[in-house]
Amino acid sequence: MPLFIKNLHPKSMAKFCNILGVTIVCTVVLFTSINSFAANVKGPAPDFTLASKEGGNVRLQEQLGNVVLINFWASWCGPCREELPYLEELQQEYADLGFTILAVNVDEDPSKADILLNEIAVSFPVLFDVNDDVSKLYDVQAMPTTVIVDRDGNQRLLHKGYKSGDEVKYKQAVKALLRE
């Protein structure tokens, strides 16, 4: 035990322990919330048009009538790599019901995304936001970030980060919006 702690008066020691305990709790809460944060949001999803991996452009507004999951990801992001196969499962399960995923890659060099996509195949559109224009429009501050948009073009869920099990939240939100 450090000397300064050994020499503390018992009341000072109790105060020190209380402060230390509060600091530890706050730190745990902070890091837990950084890893994954979800919020219900409401309001129109900002429209955008981005180049697609398949060629041509994809515009969000063209998806009106569908439930859309927009996933911002990067090839260097470990949680993004973990999440992509779950997104593919979600796409396969609900595509016939009016659901689609738009995977917005934020790498400056799209070839990095191609390398990852050779390892993890996906059937949904992969779009390239090389200048971060759409990421800024959606105020993306964490990788990955997921936004779920309802059939009317309104944002309904914002989810920052990814940890195992978050895909269950996506599935619940998608199922609920498909029923609306």
Residues in the chain: 180
**pLDDT band (50, 70, 90) for residue 91:** very high
- pLDDT surpassing 60 at residue 66: yes
Name residue 101's beta-bridge partners: 69
- pLDDT surpassing 90 at residue 11: no
Q: Which has the closest alpha carbon to 120: 144, 103, 108? A: 103
Give residue 146's pLDDT: 97
Query: 3-state secondary structure string, the chain?
Result: CCHHHHCCCHHHHHHHHHHHHHHHHHHHHHHHHHHEEEEECCCECCCCEEEECCCCEEEHHHHCCCEEEEEEECCCCHHHHHHHHHHHHHHHHHHHHCEEEEEEECCCCHHHHHHHHHHCCCCCCEEECCCCHHHHHCCCCCCCEEEEECCCCEEEEEEEECCCCHHHHHHHHHHHHHHC
- pLDDT surpassing 80 at residue 70: yes
How much is the pTM? 0.78
Average pLDDT over residues 50-72: 97
Give residue 131's pLDDT: 95
Q: Which residue has the higher pLDDT, 30 or 3?
A: 3
Average pLDDT over residues 70-76: 97
Give residue 42's pLDDT: 73
Q: What mean pLDDT value characterizes the chain?
A: 85
- Can you tell me the distance from the alpha carbon of 74 to that of 81, in angstroms, rounded to the nearest whole number? 8
158: how many CB neighbours lie within 10 A of its CB? Answer: 18
- pLDDT surpassing 60 at residue 18: no
Average pLDDT over residues 38-59: 89
- pLDDT surpassing 90 at residue 28: no
